Amino acid sequence: MWKKAIEETLTITSRNLENFGEHYPHVSNGDRRYALIENTDWTNGFWSGILWLSYEYSRDSRFREQAVWTVDSFRKRLEDRSYLDHHDIGFLYSLSTKAQWIVEKDHSARELTLQAADVLMERWREASGLIQAWGPEGDSENGGRIIIDCLLNLPLLLWAHEQTGQDAYRRVAELQAFKSRRFLIRGDDSSYHTFYFDQTTGDAIRGGTQQGDKDGSTWTRGQAWGIYGFALCSRYLQNTELLETAKRLARHFIARLPEDHVAYWDFNVPQTPTSPRDSSASAIAACGLLEIADLLQADDPEREWFLDVAVKSMQSLIRNYSTQGEENAEGFINHGSYSVRANVSPDDYTIWGDYFYLEALMRLDQGIPGYWYDR
């Protein structure tokens, strides 16, 4: 089943190579066609990651050629420092330049990835002890704001520490992970999407949301970023508290899954036949559950359960959400949501959903875990 699903993605990606040319797919807008963008957003790395995974599986040089083109485009973005004024440097460079390093041990790609880690380090605010997610330093709204998505940016810093031995990368990543654990995770194991701190004193102000239904609700994708991100940080830091946090978030997520194992977009909205799902959240969570299972001892009683839910979610994504059998589909899975409340691609393809779907399939079929850590 996994192999057939991977092969289907390869067919779609081969077709997309022609259609996308020197552009990047982002999300669709209700028309089952990807909006194509320049290398300017937080999502560009996912296309690169899909190309590298497709190349690793097939060794088809067309995928490599385009993947190398994306690495060059990421080099230019770094040189120009364009559109890098946010924390999503880890999403962008883990799946592009770092992927090339992991796949080919290309030293110039390693060098670019280290430069990207330095750009992310510039978002560390010593006074408040956090990585500022969005906006310029001192910004009145966002100057002291963190968001849960950042946990997937931290592996870039932890990898840079491993590569260089420089403690500063590890210190910042560890402080950010533990601040996220303390303030973004609520007592019932649900999560805030974002949290505000006083930017001069670091005093906690309040939790909030950007893409969830309400400040106090749980945005499903945020919870999924937490599951996977805390598990990855625990691997790098060999820290059982962070693994425990990933497990707590995972239990909360699993307990709220509907019968078909694919999450609605927010856990606190009514689950009706017309409520949007977020298939991308379930693909991310599947990768996180597989990562957690990999980190647990073979005889851990919960290990099989996490694996089983990951498998059931992926089976459902393949059977009920994938574009298998649809003519000329551009995406791998339907029914992702970017921002339901803002009505921005609320029920569409998302390039990150496609990436994590393929990453989970590659983990299940090939034991290849994506590009968050060196192999």
Burial tier of 322 (Cβ tally within 10 Å: 0-12, 13-18, 19+): buried
Nearest to 303 by CA among 111, 172, 311: 311
- Give the rounded distance of the alpha carbon of 248 from its chain centre: 19
CB of 83 to ligand GLY, least distance (A): 14
Active site residue 41: no
Q: Which of 80, 88, 167, 308 is catalytic?
A: 88
CB of 211 to ligand GLY, least distance (A): 6
Contacts (CB under 6 A) with ligand GLY, residues 35-94: 42
CA distance 202 to 205: 9
Q: Is 145 in the site for ligand GLY (CB under 6 A)?
A: no
Residue 53's contacts (CB-CB under 8 Å, 6 or more residues apart) are 355, 358, 359, 362, 368, 370
CB of 57 to ligand GLY, least distance (A): 25
CB of 340 to ligand GLY, least distance (A): 11
Q: Which of 31, 72, 85, 149 is catalytic?
A: 149
CA distance 176 to 277: 30
CA distance 331 to 13: 9
Q: Is 221 in the site for ligand GLY (CB under 6 A)?
A: yes
CB 332 within 8 A of CB 12: yes
Q: Is 149 in the site for ligand GLY (CB under 6 A)?
A: yes
Return the half-sphere exposure (C-beta side, CA atoms, 13 A cut-off) of residue 275: 15
CB of 253 to ligand GLY, least distance (A): 15
The phi and psi torsions of 28 (rounded to 5 degrees) equal: -95, 165
- Pick 149 or 174: Cβ nearer ligand GLY: 149
- Pick 226 or 369: Cβ nearer ligand GLY: 226
CA pseudo-torsion sign 69, 374, 247, 204? negative
- Pick 68 or 284: Cβ nearer ligand GLY: 284
Q: Can you tell me whether residue 23 is helix, strand or coil?
A: coil
Nearest residue to ligand GLY by CB is 149
Nearest to 95 by CA among 113, 76, 69: 113
- Pick 55 or 355: Cβ nearer ligand GLY: 355
- Pick 205 or 344: Cβ nearer ligand GLY: 344
CB of 333 to ligand GLY, least distance (A): 15
Type of residue numbered 34 = Y
Contacts (CB under 6 A) with ligand GLY, residues 247-266: none
- Pick 149 or 291: Cβ nearer ligand GLY: 149
CA distance 111 to 72: 13
Active site residue 354: no
Burial tier of 365 (Cβ tally within 10 Å: 0-12, 13-18, 19+): middle
Number of residues that bind ligand GLY (CB under 6 A): 4
- Pick 128 or 211: Cβ nearer ligand GLY: 211
CB of 107 to ligand GLY, least distance (A): 30
Contacts (CB under 6 A) with ligand GLY, residues 26-45: 42
- Lay out the site mask for ligand GLY across 188-217 (x = CB under 6 A, - = otherwise): -----------------------x------
Q: Which residues of the shown chain bind ligand GLY in the complex (CB under 6 A)?
A: 42, 149, 211, 221
Query: Among all residues, which ones are annotated catalytic?
Result: 88, 149
